[in-house]
Amino acid sequence: MSPRKRARISRGIQYGLLVVAVVVLAVSIDWGRVGDQIFNVEAAQDLFPKIPRAFLNTLMYTAAAFAVGLSLGTVLALMKLSSVGVYRWLATIYIEFFRGIPALLVVIAFAYAVPIALGVSISSLTLKAALALGMVSAAYIAETLRAGIEAVPRGQIEAARSLGMSHGRTLLTVVIPQAFRIVLPPMTNEIILLTKDTSLIYLMGLLPTQFDLTKIGRDALSSGSGGGLTGLFVAGIGYLCITIPLGLLARWLEKRTGKGSRS
C-alpha cells in the first residue's frame, strides 16, 4: 500500500470518528432544554432594547483603555530601550508587574483600593476603566512596540543620523512610524483582548446608562425572569460582533505587512 493511500485511509478514519462523535453529542443533548435555557427567543427580545447602549459603552471603554495603553506603552517601550539604566529598570519592573497580575485585581484596586489609599475619587467610570485596563494593556503594548522598534533596519537609523537628524527626531520621524506599521497586527490583537477585558468593569458598579455587554448578561442571569443563560449568550454574540471583524482586520494587516516586507 502506497503512503498516499495509507494517508487517505487514515484521514477517512479520522473523519468517520469525528462524524460519530458529533452524532453522539447531538443525540445526547436535551435540545428542548437548551432552547429554553440558552436560545430563548422571548428572553433575548426583552434584552434587545438594552443591547445598543451596552454595545456602544463596551466600544467606548475599549477605545479609552487602548488610548491609555498605547500612550503609556509607547513611553515604556522607549524607556526599555533607553541608554539610561534607571529608565530601563523602571520600565522592566512596571512591565513584569502588570503582566504578572490578573487584570481583575487591577480593576478591583481602581474601584476600591486606590480611592482609599490616595484619598481621591474618580467620578468618571470611563476614566476609571481606561486607567485600570490601560495600565495593564500598556505592559503588553510596550513589549510589542519594543520588538517593532528593534525590527526597524539599523541602516535607516544611521542614514537619518548622517543627514543631521537628532536622536529624538530620528525616533519620531523614522523609527516609531515604521515600528507602528510592523506591530499593527499584534496591536489589533491587543484591542481584541482589551474588548474582552471590559467584561470586568461591572465590578466597579455600573449605573443603567453605563452597562456593558457583560453586565446585561449577568443581570439577565440573576433576574429570575426566565431564559437561563440566554442573556450571557446574547452578550457573547455582542462581543463576537466586535472581535471577529478585528480578527479579520489583524489577518489582513498581517498579510499586507508581509507583502510589503517582501517587495
Reply yes or no on whether the pLDDT at 231 is more than 90.
no
Instruction: Tell me the pLDDT of the chain averaged across its residues.
Output: 84
Residue 169 contacts residue 186 (beta carbons within 8 Å)? no
pLDDT bin (cut points 50, 70, 90) of residue 262 is very low
Burial class (CB in 10 A: 0-12, 13-18, 19+), 161: middle
Digit-coded pLDDT (tens) for 166-215: 777 777 777 888 888 888 888 888 999 999 998 888 888 777 778 888 88
List CB contacts of 55: < 8 A, sequence separation 6 or more: 213, 238, 241, 242
- Band (pLDDT 50/70/90 cuts) for residue 230 is confident
What is the C-alpha to C-alpha distance for residues 255 and 94, in angstroms, rounded to an integer? 32
Q: At residue 89, what are phi and psi to the nearest 5 degrees? A: -65, -45
pTM for this model (two decimals): 0.81
pLDDT in tens, 148-174: 888 887 777 778 777 777 777 777 777
Say which CATH topology domain 38-256 has.
MetI-like fold (1.10.3720)
Give yes or no for residue 19 having a pLDDT over 90. yes
3-state secondary structure of 35: helix
Better-scored residue on pLDDT, 78 or 227? 78
Side-chain half-sphere of 224: how many Cα atoms within 13 Å?
0
Q: What is the pLDDT of residue 76?
A: 94
Greater confidence, 48 or 259?
48
Q: Which residue has the higher pLDDT, 80 or 38?
A: 80
Closest residue by Cα to residue 178 from 151, 202, 197, 141: 151
